[in-house]
Structure 1
């Protein structure tokens, strides 16, 4: 076909072409083009109204797989629930619960009202435990302290020590500033106040299996009374070393005694004053 361009119209298609070949060739080309356009229209029809995936042929002959609009909508709906997203990621609520200026990972944290300490710190208000407190690793001591006035503090220290194959001790230290008072508890059930005295109950009504000490006065007369300094205080009494000879039930071994300068006196004897001098 030669000469000026002509329009070939077939139903709803209009194609302008130049062709120097035969009408047969033109017909084949036209038929091929019409089939291509029809496949494209069928494919886009499937994309707009159908389901699943659609295979289309690009102008360069490459096969392309596209999702239909219904499949895209279903995929999105299955992955994101917008109503839940709005409720769970409200920016105003996020600003209140996670203030950006406080998001510093190197410091101690407070999460939902819970204090998360990293290496210590300060708390305002009362700290409540609904469970058991426990130290990590091996800790021989612990301390509770408060400051009733400027420059002064009151604290209770818990200090435990063990001597392998011998005994365990738990020491309670009451401290007013640097004035320390030690109370030592041993694994055999005994205890003593290092700088003072225990107050022993001695009412006859709480005792049982009472036996009279024969020649009690004679035994007491063998003892010598002394005055002495113990833990910086002037005191009076007898020596456990002498009392054990006449009334061993009133003497016990309190273990090692620790002087303020660090000196250790081994196997110190102690008098159970509630036993030696009962108040009935």
Structure 2
């Protein structure tokens, strides 16, 4: 058994890069975070698990991320949600288990709300629903607000590398997909959440609000007290695989 790869052609001519492992279902679908890609530690670990266990698995890069085409600055929650739905529509048959990291936890929720009949369960790592409005916008400094007003783009400093562009369009579009205000959030499948207590990007209370607000009664929230945002240490990967095996059983 091996992992195959290719590109999904979108109607606007853009190409979404993907990798797939054929195997038993439900298909596990990786939904990465903001400015991350499908070659990261957790996505790779899931590929190794799928190959060893004979499980179906798909990972992909959103528009403007990793191996996919497009400029990151032109990306929006609308576009990245559409990418995820297109992957499910064209590359996956039957039920899915969504594994969403950071922004991917928001995208996973939007997908589950759009296709509740296909999403069997979700495993979320440091999920960041509504992050554009709830987490990012309140922390934009005055010079960032001035740049957004004048140019429509602000270069946001990052602990993980070079500054990256945040567009006014991204912030405005994100508000369209806010889900934390829904009571309850219309997600009714089993959900497992892994959240670091030392996460500097997604406060644990933000992730807990998401988990607590879901309609589903089968939601387990695990606080890893010394965990960071990435949760990519060996012990974190072990917890991720255990949660995935539980909901896939």
Report if TM-score (shorter chain) is over 0.5: no
Select the structure that is richer in strand.
1
Q: Quick check: which has more Rg, 1 or 2?
A: 1
Select the structure that is richer in helix.
2
TM-score by length of 2: 0.19
> Which structure would you say has the larger RCO, counting Cα contacts within 8 Å and 6 or more residues apart?
2
TM-score by length of 1: 0.17
